[in-house]
Amino acid sequence: MIIGITTTRTTTDDIDIERVTIEYLQSVERAGGTPILLPPQPDCSSIDEILVRIDGLMLTGGGDIDPRLYTDDKVLEQVSHVSRKRDEFEIALARAAFEQDMPTFGICRGMQIMNVAFGGSLNQDLAACGITDENHLQERPFERTGQVTLLEPGTRLAALFGNVACIETNSMHHQSIRTVAPRFSTSALSADGVIEGIEDPSKRFCIGVQWHPEYLADNNVLFEAFCAEAQARSSKPARE
């Protein structure tokens, strides 16, 4: 099955590059999927053409989402690396995938995009909200776990981890969900109350997590479930 993965733009030596870290690709490949990259398009008219070519959508991490898309409050100086073009493209992708019940997996910024796409809001900066970021903005190695994440009983996310009460995760973010969009439910929280997971249980697979599971070997279950649902939706034969 084909998994579309959104990209991040970086500039090195005055060269613009659309990229993803290799861990996203490897996680999808281990789960049996074939990843393709989805850089932002000049406009959103091609969304349907894109979705017809993929079986699942992965919304990845990256820069901050433009606060004007979710609040009338003043934009804080801590907000950085905003790409309105990327924001609008990924919001359109998330909405269209939702309408088609296409399996969607949001990671870090990707979860926040899912939330904003359907009317939720974000905290522009955890420290500005009085939440210490020492447990949410860890240094490398990202394979190291630095916080405990509490799983909400009865959720799809909890079931994927064997219905345990909590798991250890990594954490690399300074923003977080403030209000959850009406169609999502909270599936995980950090010990200090930051929303770490959202989902829509009515969909085939519609889950967002605030941490970065692509770096954690014991989080392969998330990618396996995501790709399994993408394969089930697809009419294509499973890859051998």
Positions marked catalytic: 108, 212, 214
Angle at the Cα of 74 from the Cα atoms of 76 and 87, rounded to 5 degrees: 75
The set of residues, in sequence order, having a beta carbon less than 8 Å from that of 237 and lying 6+ positions away, is: none
Q: Is the peptide bond between 237 and the residue preceding it cis, with omega within 30 degrees of 0?
A: no
Residue 135 carries which side chain, given as an amino acid letter?
Answer: N
Radius of gyration of the chain (CA): 17
Asked if 175 and 124 count as a contact pair (C-beta separation under 8 A), the reply is yes
φ, ψ dihedrals at 94, nearest 5°: -60, -40
One DSSP character per residue, 171-184 reads -B-S-EEEE--TT-
Whole-angstrom distance, CA of residue 159 vs CA of residue 161? 5
Q: How many residues does the chain have?
A: 240
Whole-angstrom distance, CA of residue 186 vs CA of residue 180? 7
